[in-house]
Amino acid sequence: MFRLSFTHFIATSRIVINSSTRSFQRLSSPSNENIILSTTLTDNLYGFKNFIQKRQLTNTVNIEHDKNATIHKSSQLPKVYTRTGDRGTSALLGTGSNRVSKDSLIFDVLGTIDELSATLGIVLSTCSIPELSKELENIQCRLFEIGSCVAANNRSSRFTFNDSILINNLEEQIDKMTNELPALRHFILPGGGSQTGSNLHFSRAVCRRCERLLTKWLNNQNIEGEEQQDTIMGIYLNRLSDYLFTLARYITFKEGHKEIIYQKNK
C-alpha cells in the first residue's frame, strides 16, 4: 500500500495525504505489527507534507519569476502608437524627418491599397477552397510590395515592382476559370447566394478605385526612367480587378448559386 501511495503521489502531487490517511485508519489495530506499520505511515505523511509545501513554494517562486520576466519583456516591445502623426502629417520611406500632410494624394493611394488587402482578408475568412486562399494571400503580399514602392515615392531601388510574370500568372488563372464557367452573355449584378462571391465583387470595386488613384498619382510624379515600373504596377491592378471579377463568378458557380442578371427597365 505504501508503494502504491508513493507512486500515486509522484504522478499527481496531491490527494496522497488523504489516501495515506485512509490506509492508516484501515491498518490501525491493537496488534504490534499494525502499530509499527501505522507509525511508519504517519512518519511518511509528515515527509510528504513537507515535500508538498516545498514544492508549492518552488512553484510560487517560478510563477512570480515568469510573471516578472513577462512584464520586463513587454516593457521592451515597441508601442503601436507613436503620436508623431497627431498633427495630421506622416513620414514616407526614405524621407527622414520630412513630413507630408495626410490629405496628400499619396496617402489616398496607400490607404486604398491597404483597404483592398483588407477586403481580401474578408474573402479569405469565408473562402472554402484552400488553393484559392493561398493565391489570395500571395496577392496580399504583392499589394504590400506595391504599397512599399509608393511609400518610397517610387524612387528606391530597395522597393521595386517590375515583374511582368505576375501579370501573366493572373491571366493564366483567369483563362483557366473562364473555361469552366458558363459563357457571359449578359451584365451581372454584384451579390447573389455566395457570400464569398459577393465579397469578391466588393474587392473588385475597391481594386478599380485603387487603380484610378495610383494612375493619378503616377501621372503627377513625372519621374524620368520609371516608366517600366509605373506600367507594371498599373497593369497588375488592372488585371487583378479582372481576376477578382472572374473569381467571384467562379466561386458562385462552384457553390451552386445562380448569377443575378441585369434586367432592363421596361
Per-residue confidence (pLDDT) for residue 197, from 0 to 100: 95
pLDDT tens by residue, 5-18: 444 444 444 444 44
pTM for the predicted model, two decimal places = 0.68
Where do the domains of the chain lie, and which CATH numbers do they carry?
A: 102-261 (1.20.1200.10)
pLDDT tens by residue, 42-74: 455 455 455 555 555 555 555 555 555 555 555
User: What is the DSSP secondary-structure string of 33-100?
Assistant: HHHHHHHHHHHHHHHHHHHHHHHHHHHHHHHHHHHHHHHHHHHHSPPS--STTTTSEEPPTT-TT--E
Angle, vertex CA 40, rays to CA 37 and CA 43, nearest 5 = 150
| Mean pLDDT across 132-153 | 92
Per-residue confidence (pLDDT) for residue 251, from 0 to 100: 95
Per-residue confidence (pLDDT) for residue 156, from 0 to 100: 63
| Mean pLDDT across 78-99 | 71
pLDDT tens by residue, 217-253: 988 876 555 555 668 999 999 999 999 999 999 999 9
Higher pLDDT, 61 or 112: 112
